[in-house]
Each structure stands twice: as structure tokens, then as C-alpha cells.
Amino acid sequence: MPNERVKNLKKQVLSDNWYRLEKVTFDFQLDSGQWETHTREAYDRGNGATILLYNTQKNTVILTRQFRLPTYLNGNSSGFLIETCAGLLDKDNPEDCIIKEAEEETGYLVHALQKVFEAYMSPGSVTELLYFFIAEYSETMKKTAGGGLVEELENIEVLELSFATAYERIQTGQIRDGKTIMLLQYLKIQNILH
């Protein structure tokens, strides 16, 4: 149901090169009843999904490492980030998307997924809703080397880390990706890994 406190919504496309960047003007009604006109920019890249693969026998997790230009432009001197596997839904549902992404990026074909939550990661400027999953992995599920798709110019390193090492890297600043921190903390809070 539309919010009755928002009216006169007008969109102007600023860029439709990679994804869609729009300038949006709208009227918003304050608690006092007064109306204010706001102008914002919103970046629409579609919704996505992410997954943290874990192994309770070895107390390990599977993460990826890849170059992320925006982080390089904002002070990450190498531009590389350690992350959970993730991808855009495109036309898939979240479950099908993340099964496909996990195999492409990590080489593991996962079956039993558990959706743990959904979150808007940067709601001040990005429309994306991210679906978060976890799944247990074993060596028998490894089907390829992973690394991403060549045609998508992906160059992804697959990392298998002890949970303790991965969790410690949050504190040391070696893991600074929000979705990854959230899923590592989920495993710790739920006592899935130690």
C-alpha cells in the first residue's frame, strides 16, 4: 500500500549506463502535517542474494576475494575485499540465484539453504534488497575451481578460512564488507561455529 505521506513523485534518469541512477523529487508530509519538497538520487541495480558456506566438522567458512573499484576509490589501497559469495537476482528467485552464484564463484554446488534474513544495505541511496543465506558445505560438493565467469570479467579468489580467523579479520579490518560481517556474526550468535 502506498505511503500517503509521499506525493508528487517525479523521476529523472541521470544515467542508465550500467544500472539506473535517478534524481527523484517528491513531497513528504511531516508529523506536524506540513509538506516539504525533497530531492534525492537513487541507484537501482536490482535486488541480490548472498550466502556464507560453512563446515561444522572443520569449523571453516568459504569466502571470496576480489577487486572492488568503489572501495579502491574510497581509501582501500589494494581495492580487494574479502566477501561472502553474492550476486544480483536478475530474473531468478533468491534461492536459485544464490545456488548458481555459489557454484560460479566458489565451485561448491549447495543444496540445503537456510534463508536467515533480508536487509537494505545502503537505503539512503541504493534501492537493493539483499537476501541472506547460509549453507553447510563439504568437499563432495566441490564441482569446479570456482573463480567466477570469464565472460563477466570476474576474477575471484576462493578462500577457505577457519571461522576463528575469519571472525578475527573483522576486528583487524581485513574483512570490511557489511554482508560478510553480518553473516559471520550470525553464525557466532547462533552458535553454529566457534
List, for residues 116-169, the tens digit of each pLDDT value.
Answer: 999 999 999 999 999 999 999 999 999 988 877 666 667 899 999 999 999 999
Give dist(CA 109, CA 22) in Å, integer: 37
CA distance 35 to 37: 7
Secondary structure element (H or E) that encloses residue 47, with its range? none
Torsion sign, CA atoms 36, 42, 47, 52: negative
Q: Please tell me the distance from the alpha carbon of residue 94 to that of residue 48, in angstroms, as a whole number.
A: 7
Q: Which domains are delineated in the chain? A: 6-44 (no CATH), 48-189 (3.90.79.10)
Does the pLDDT value for residue 18 go beyond 80? yes
**What are 43-57's pLDDT values in tens digits?**
999 999 999 999 999
Q: Give 39's pLDDT tier (boundaries 50, 70, 90).
A: very high
Phi, psi of 146 (to 5 degrees): 75, -155
- pTM of the predicted model as reported, rounded to 2 decimal places: 0.94
pLDDT of residue 70: 94
Across the chain, what does the average pLDDT equal?
95
Residue 54 pLDDT: 98
Residue 152: its pLDDT value, please?
67
**Pairing state of beta strands 129-136 and 85-88?**
unpaired
